[in-house]
Structure 1
């Protein structure tokens, strides 16, 4: 989906249309959960601290998230997916892989299926979706971002390697900021740069991730679409430039981490019963503390409250706190199960 949370808010409130909108909290420790395309033009992005977003876009309008509404719309979208295939691998409330090899409605090609799905989503929800159509998950994921918003990108097998070669590696699914920075130090900026290195070089520098990177750089990805993808935990953590010694400062820092974590939790659509605090001290010793409830964690306030209580029991920390993290686990197994070849 295109700027999903923000687009839902603009759909439901005409006064927000055409304006830079951020879903999240505008207070000092707030985090942007989603940004409209008008806000993105100013450099506002999801997971950005609210104070930074306001600095970049003084006219930014903050809207409190309505996760129940987003889940309702997500169910509408996934119901449309299920009309075309049972092989659906959800990535979040607004994104999924679909294996449409079966061609249930005899539309003749994956492109035609994607076009029909996008049309039905617009008719049912009033929102736009972008689709990437290709012969494997890696390239389909890249293609889905290629022509956003409201776009379609089809990459057939004969064009896969060339498509990947021209892209920056930081766009590769599975290459996060730390890996991208490491690649930059090695002189790897594009898919072509990555493909120029032998597997031995990649294994020496990227370990178990090397085989995936080696194939991806050549447009190869053999991972199947997994209809029952079980998430084990979702969270966030932050390393501090200066160790935190003050209890109030530690509580404020954990609140920021909790906001970032809950954005990911809400976007995933998952529910869980266990909150785990991760704390690393000045001597690099790491400790974890967890608490489980007999029911799912209700909301971000309860998630944070449990985290704050766990943290309070660890204070004071000699030498200060270097890192804080907060995760949700005990994920409930509720995700529904939502080859001859099919032309792209």
Structure 2
């Protein structure tokens, strides 16, 4: 998919079509998840800090991600891929490998191209978005072809032409070559794929180690026999947060870790899994990172058990200098749960007064939630009792600005309200694609 998150936002918000859009974290330490092609003209790229993006493109729309909507669109796209072949290997919400041979597509360039073009048309018809297709005889070259085809294109790398196309490209074109590997190779005078192949396997192993060096040599010489794997079983579930300001208060660190543990368990349960090993990640103010893990007696999906394990792991970590990032993960996944009997007993004894993720008893937590002012983050959906559905354009100094428009409407009007206006409520995203049509009168 082309600039997926940003393209979804443009499709959902008529006033943003054809304009620079940046989706990602909006705080001082936020990172760009996706930038529209209009924003990329100014140099904005994924993984760039949002602060730098704002300096490069101050007039872009900076929006909070709406993952529920992206996931719903992704399910439609993956369903279309599944109609082409039973072997579909998702890499992310917006990208997947498809084995055409397994779908009965004849082994010819013309047949493959026809399927690719039909798929692009079907995706646009179903979602209103564009996709780029790369066709080749292996995963690596299909990935390279799809990148070369962007945006909204199709590229076929014919058998026998792979090395001719790949040779002049930067070494980072090869999957698995990140900044550190590229820098190691650059210091050795290797900057292109052809230079990587010419260096030879022995030299690459000397520079990068046996596994990485041998694997890189195989890819640089066009050898990629990795199969398309339809079921990619997750090995772990994790969540993490980067904080706008370093956390120095120990109690706050403990509460944030408990909150992350609960979020992690929600994801675990959503996947229908349990896990045996709990881990935490603590990144200090100076970017040094500490990880700790603990293996339980059996798999669990009990939030209390995961919270307690995370708290025990945190006991051995010094946080006095300031914490920049916290994370909680669960690995050793299983499809069943073998609860820790001691944890169950403790939970049963203290269930009536068990604190929530914020460290409050349930009644106290509910009251605090009611008193807490609502956050109106840019890009999120709202509904006003009088003006109907819209989205938050910005908020501050006690006011929230909303643009009232829908995917099928012309660009809408802007209105401003007090942040506590009782007529304004959060709302679910409106559908895209064929369903994004005004309701019948």
Moved more, 199-208 or 129-138: 199-208
Q: Distance in 2 between matches of 1:222 and 1:93?
A: 24
Q: Find the counterpart in structure 1 of residue 88 from structure 2.
A: 88
Q: Deviations over 1:262-285 (max 9, x none)?
A: 9xxx9xx97876763234789x89
2:216 to 205, 213, 216: 213
Is 1:247 the equivalent of 2:284? no
* Aligned residue in 2 for 1:116: 118
Structure 2: gaps (5+ residues): 336-441
**Is residue 69 of structure 2 the alignment partner of residue 66 of structure 1?**
no
CA distance in 2, matches of 1:155, 1:223: 17
Residue of structure 1 in register with 2:327 after alignment: 326
The DSSP-based 3-state class of the residue aligned with 1:157 is coil
Q: Which has the higher contact order (CA 8 A, sep 6+)?
A: 1
The residue matched to 2:221 in structure 1 has which SS? Answer: coil
**Which has the higher mean CA deviation after the structures are superposed, 11-20 or 307-316?**
307-316
Instruction: Name the residue aligned to 1:222.
Output: 225
Say what the alpha-carbon RMSD is for the aligned residues: 4.0
CA distance in 2, matches of 1:221, 1:204: 22
- Residues 27-68 of structure 1 show CA distances to partners (whole Å, capped at 9, x for unaligned) of 213222211111111222222222121111111211121111
Aligned counterparts of 1:285 and 1:65: Cα–Cα separation in 2: 26
The normalised TM-score by structure 1 is 0.76
Aligned match for 2:181, one of 168, 179, 182: 179
8 Å CA contact retained: 1:212, 1:221 = no
- The corresponding residue for 1:149 is 151
Q: How much has 1:172 moved relative to structure 2?
A: 1.5
1:7 is matched with 7
Mapped partners of 2:179, 2:157: distance in 1: 26
User: What residue in structure 1 maps to residue 137 of structure 2?
Assistant: 135
The size of the alignment, in residue pairs, is 309
Tell me, yes or no, if the aligned pair for 1:133 and 1:155 is still in contact at 8 Å.
yes
Hey, what's the Cα distance between the residues in 2 that align with 1:146 and 1:177? Answer: 20
Separation in 2, partners of 1:155, 1:72: 31
Following superposition, the deviation at residue 24 of structure 1 comes to 2.1
Alignment check: 8 A CA contact 2:90 2:97 kept: yes
Larger Rg: 2
Shift of 1:182: 1.0
Give the conservation status (yes or no) of the 8 Å contact 1:233–1:327: no
For residue 138 of structure 1, give the secondary structure of its aligned residue in structure 2: helix
2:55 aligned residue = 55
Cα distance in structure 1, aligned partners of 2:178 and 2:290: 23
- Cα shift at 1:102: 3.9
Q: Distance in 2 between matches of 1:66 and 1:271?
A: 23
Contact persistence 2:146–2:154 (CA under 8 A): yes
CA–CA distance in 2 between the matches of 1:183 and 1:235? Answer: 32
Is the Cα–Cα contact under 8 Å of residues 272 and 328 in structure 1 kept in the other structure? no
